[in-house]
Amino acid sequence: GEDTYLTSVMGVAMIRGYQGADPGDPASLAACIKHFVGYGAAEGGRDYNSTNLPERVLRNVYLPPFLAGIQAGSMTLMTSFNDNDGVPMTGNRFLVRDMLRDEWNFKGFVVSDWASVNEMIPHGFASDQAHAAKLALEAGVDMDMMSFAYITQLGKQVEEGAVSEKLIDEAVKNILRIKFQLGLFENPYVQEDLHKEMFYNPAHMELSRQSAVQSAVLLSNDGTLPLNAEKIRSVLVTGPMADAPYDQLGTWVFDAQEQATVTPLKAIRDNYGHLMRVLYESGLNYSRDKGRTGIRKAVEAARAADVVIVFVGEESILSGEAHCLASLDLRGAQSDLIEALKSTGKPVITVVMAGRPLTIEKEVSLSNALLYSFHPGTMGGTALADLIFGKEVPSGRLPMTFPKTSGQIPLYYNHNSTGRPFLGNETMLDQIPLKAGQTSLGNTSFYLDAGAAPLFPFGFGLSYTTFAYTNIRIDQVSYNQKDTLTLSFDLTNTGKTAATEVAQLYVCDKTGSVTRPVKELKMFDRIALASGETRTVSWKLPISELAFWNLQMKRVVEPGQFELWVAGDSVSGEPILFEVKK
């Protein structure tokens, strides 16, 4: 996602999940937080490319999730491929040794990314492998992954006095410390049959289903969803992702058993086939397929169905490392498939399985409802069927902003304000009079052809019900820097369906020694409510959480005026003003 706080919370949860309460437990493993640091800000969105992030941006935006991970006890950390301001991360002494080790007191070990020690040579940062090994070790990288630079170069350099033996000892100690904590010297052999009770355990499969349910985001709905299985005589299931057991697992999946995957087609047939006729036409054989024959078959089948559910998106290989795209439109003829299905006049429900936000403005307009499930994993089909037919209620919220067009990127909610912020009433491209005079008066920061607003904002997601936030209040209007702000509000499920809302708290520092973001997420919670239920919610926010790295590169809470919002996404709600005193 794009948010510092959300990434921190999710990262800490993953570390605790991997390592457990006891890293020495045979079912636990050492977590590795990566990629350190700024890897998500590569120029042009191309993996391995350069970044240019000043120290203040690193400390305010990119580094806090790593610090949270270290404070949660992450045992290892991996450097990233990118150079930042001309210094490859695997050779960045300031960030790895000075900050990570000395400032943060990290006691785990640091590993390079795959061959990134050697890659400092094509970076132009190291002259040869011996130079690269020396730079990485001196920067604080303890383990060389797949460059074989340490094992082939460091011994000779120690003998020649070019590399300090103390640095070798330090790296070895860091690695051995983790091995001791993992119990690898007391129990060096794995229990080879342990995986049999872990892999595809029914309890784990149910958790997988719940995870897929809670992460799917309902982006649009004209009331078509949820479907009433008792009133539908026939449904067409179509699209290249409707029965793609391998691809719905997502990227970087090496040990998954494809035959264990429950696809949407299988789930709908198994759970609802006795209630209705389930038709199936793939429409397209895979997401990049440009053929038209399957589309014609799907349209013919749609005419015989009461409702159409089309599953589109990306094959797993199209996302993940080194699979960057300049266009984020649906690939192949998938958009044409949706348009052709819509032309039948039948209700069209679109489900998108993809590893990234796609530019789907057209597809949203063609769909009666659209669910975005990302790649939902092994139990994704069951989860999506449960959501479509109302056994479950959507509660997922977007962890990143969805652009209208890839030309808007980078696009994120927590941007700094400009001196000419977008107002929403600007003259757009098709509204400009012919031979209009050239002027910059009244202009704002926007695109003539796309405006400045996204297609869907960070934190957005619909439900099968509605929620109302009322009686929002804070316990004071003025706080000292050591105080804790108490926020209270009433949350009501105003619809007829029991559901879960994800309440979100945002804050804005109105004036700072450096420009501050227009909003920053500071807290969120999933709150389940019965139909008509109202619950009073109380949150506590330490004023210290408003700190940032200021003009003097010190982390402080600056006095001044602040705004606070509590709402269901990053653009809703009315601000509450409060003050922080010196």
Residues with active-site annotation: 113
Both ends of the chain: CA-CA distance in Å?
34
Separation between Cα atoms, residue 267 and residue 380, nearest integer Å: 9
Query: Are residues 261 and 209 in contact, defined by beta-carbon separation less than 8 angstroms?
Result: no
12 and 69 in contact (C-beta within 8 Å)?
A: yes
- What distance in Å separates the CA atoms of residue 425 and residue 419, rounded to the nearest whole number? 17
**∠ CA(432), CA(436), CA(441), 5° rounding?**
90
Compute the CA torsion angle 273, 278, 281, 286 (nearest 10 deg). -40
Phi and psi, residue 511, nearest 5°: -145, 130
| Residue 67, H or E segment | helix 64-71
Beta strands in 398-554 (DSSP E): 467-474, 478-479, 484-493, 499-509, 520-529, 534-542, 548-549
Taking the CA atoms of the chain, what radius of gyration do you get in angstroms?
A: 26
Report how far residue 24's alpha carbon sits from residue 183's, in angstroms, rounded to the nearest whole number: 5
- Rounded to the nearest 5°, which phi and psi values hold at 466? -130, 155
* Cα separation, 525 vs 539, whole angstroms: 10
Nearest to 181 by CA among 75, 45, 321, 27: 75
Query: In whole angstroms, what is the distance from residue 554 CA to residue 31 CA?
Result: 30
In what helix (H) or strand (E) does residue 567 lie, and over which residues does it extend? strand 560-567
* 573 Rama class: left (phi>0) / alpha (psi -120 to 50) / beta: left
Residue 265 and residue 240 in contact, taking contact as beta carbons nearer than 8 Å: no
Pairing of strands 87-88, 83-84: antiparallel
Q: Are the beta carbons of 356 and 373 closer than 8 angstroms?
A: no
Helices (H) and strands (E) in the chain, counts: 14, 21
CA distance linking residue 96 with residue 90, whole number of Å: 8
Q: Report the alpha-carbon distance of residue 473 to residue 412 in Å, rounded.
A: 28
Strand (E) positions, 303-425? 307-313, 348-353, 369-372
Cα 43 from Cα 415, distance rounded (Å): 17
The Cα 112–Cα 36 span in angstroms is 10
DSSP class of residue 362 equals H
Cα 359 to Cα 220, 379, 404, 405, 449, distances in angstroms: 14, 26, 6, 6, 15
